[in-house]
Amino acid sequence: MKVLVIGKGGREHALCWRLHQSPSVWGLYCTGDNPGIAKIAEPCRVSSSDFDGLAAFAAREKIDLTVVGPEDPLAAGVVDHFKARGLTILGPSKAAAQLEASKSFAKSVMRAAGVPTAAAESFTDITEALDYVRSRPYRVVVKADGLALGKGVTVCQDLGQAEAAIVEALERKRFGAAGARILIEERLEGEELSFFALCNGVEAVPLGFVQDHKAVFDGDQGPNTGGMGAYSPLPHYDDAFAERVMTEVIRPTLHEMARRDIPFSGILFAGLMVTGTRLNVLEYNVRFGDPECESLMMRFDGDLGATLGAVAEGRVRDAAVRLSPQSAVAVVLASGGYPGEYRTGLPIGGLEQIDGDEPSALKTRWAIKRTRVKVFHAGTTLADGALVTNGGRVLVVTARAESVQQAVAAAYEAADLIRFDGLHLRRDIAYRVLGTPTNPINPG
């Protein structure tokens, strides 16, 4: 089959990489053309917001399946556009993408479906919102309702912070239209994890758990980013727990969407908070996370093209998801200053030692330990033939090995070969399993 991937970052490079290896895929196109993607996919030089152009490209090139990486085209209705032209695409309709694009919509679905989630109320009126938080006996989280580039949520320490967050959104319009409505939610404590399922209508297959690391510095310090690293699977969350999430979260949500006549298809990503034996949904996303996707693709052992095609065509039972029990870890190499201002155009060195054809002692050692290392390109480009930085998140170094310890060690060994000015990475990816140098976890 011929597959088109919409998107341009590390997530899409990982999808392309796996699709490129799929026996069923013989033609691969991507709207992104960073040097990593360009090595394996033909370019589709159409903007990911030009749906007519994308659909015309897919029809002309006889694309059998289109896979959408980011949320924006989904929320804007790219799937409806393709389906109206009889083209096969994996992802939710515009109406179903509201599960991510409107937090109050997602909350109403969770409530109707009986999915466990924190108490919340939505507001457009500032006086009502302020009255509400002042009458709450607990700490709250203030969330812009719409898509706000991951910056729309304030986890508040006290009432003053909550009041300020409400004023920022409803009066100062900090998030524009995305924050014209807010959700005020009870603040939960616990461990955060992400769960992924491939869905079509009321059918779904699990892809399992991933844990990401959003804060820019070690120990979850500093501002939140798009994600600084991820690993999968999570040793403490087994198949029985995954089945619990399927039963308590994914299937009831799909049934409620179908009941509303807006059946969901595509990737359902549930952000979860686990507190002791309690499980709550923090949010839904309607696509893969980045860098969660990189770690999942590293573990994906089947024919990704056949799997995603089966789901898109409504044959979820044929999806044949084969995820390795081995561990995968993804470490993001970011530009200094990210998520604030950063420079671009800085030369990147060392990648050829990992990705090149030359044999090396490190590669031999990885091979002996049956460790795989792959570097995905997120924000890179070529300047006069040389690889340079071109974004906040530059490269995603991903490793797969027998244990999470070995995968982490290999990922950092590889990351330490790569150089560019101002390179920043977190040193504690998977610390919840491994501990940190200053705060080790006793494996017993």
Ligand X SMILES: Nc1ncnc2c1ncn2[C@@H]1O[C@H](COP(=O)(O)OP(=O)(O)O)[C@@H](O)[C@H]1O
Q: Shortest distance, CB of residue 147 to ligand X, whole angstroms?
A: 8
Interface positions, 263-302, toward ligand X (CB under 6 A): 271, 282-283
Least separation in angstroms between CB 270 and ligand X: 10
DSSP letter (8 states) at residue 347 = B
Site string for Mg ion, 259-298 (x = CB under 5 A): ------------x---------------------------
Residue 346 interacts with, from Mg ion, ligand X, none (CB under 5-8 Å by kind): none
Which residue do the tokens 């920043």 mark? 424
Please report, as residue ranges, which positions from 342 to 381 form the binding site for ligand X (by CB under 6 A). Answer: none
Are 185 and 144 contacting, i.e. CB atoms less than 8 angstroms apart?
no
Binder to ligand X among 187, 244, 260, 424 (CB under 6 A)? 187
Closer residue to ligand X, CB minimum distance, 185 or 256: 185
Which stretch in 88-96, 152-160, 356-364, 416-424 sits in contact with ligand X by CB under 6 A?
152-160
Q: Cα Rg for the chain, rounded, in angstroms? A: 21
Answer positive or negative: Cα dihedral of 10, 327, 208, 107.
negative
65 contact choice in ligand X, Mg ion, none (CB below 5 to 8 Å, kind-dependent): none
Please identify, among the stretches 13-21, 60-68, 151-159, 408-416, the one whose residues bind ligand X according to the rule CB under 6 A. Answer: 151-159
The residues, any chain, with a CB within 8 Å of residue 325's CB and separated by 6 or more, are: 233
Residue 378's nearest CA partner among 274, 225, 170 is 225
Could you say whether residue 256 binds ligand X (CB under 6 A)? no
| 59-67, 187-195, 390-398, 410-418 -> range binding ligand X (CB under 6 A) | 187-195
CB of 163 to ligand X, least distance (A): 18
Confirm or reject binding of residue 185 to ligand X (CB under 6 A): yes
- Does residue 392 bind ligand X (CB under 6 A)? no
CA distances to 29, 31, 32, 33 from 43, in Å:
6, 6, 7, 6
Verify binding: residue 4, ligand X, rule CB under 6 A. Answer: no
Three-state secondary-structure class, residue 271: strand
- Cα(234)–Cα(433) distance, rounded to whole angstroms? 8
Residue from 153, 159, 167, 274 in contact with ligand X (CB under 6 A): 153
Nearer to Mg ion by Cβ, of 229 and 309: the residue is 229
CB of 75 to ligand X, least distance (A): 12
Please count the other Cβ atoms lying within 10 Å of the Cβ belonging to residue 158. 9
Residue 16 CB, shortest distance to Mg ion, in Å, is 24
- CB closer to ligand X, 88 vs 224: 224
CA distances from 112 to 9, 33, 99, 268, 286 (A): 35, 42, 13, 18, 19
Residue nearest to ligand X (CB): 283
List the beta bridge partners of residue 323: 300
Element (H, E) at 160: helix 159-166
Q: Are 35 and 381 in contact (CB under 8 A)?
A: yes
Angstrom CA distances, 85 to 48, 52, 60, 80, 264, stand at: 17, 10, 12, 9, 19
Which residues are at the interface with Mg ion (CB under 5 A)? Answer: 271
Q: Which residues bind ligand X (CB under 6 A)?
A: 118, 141, 143, 150, 152-153, 155, 185, 187-188, 192, 271, 282-283
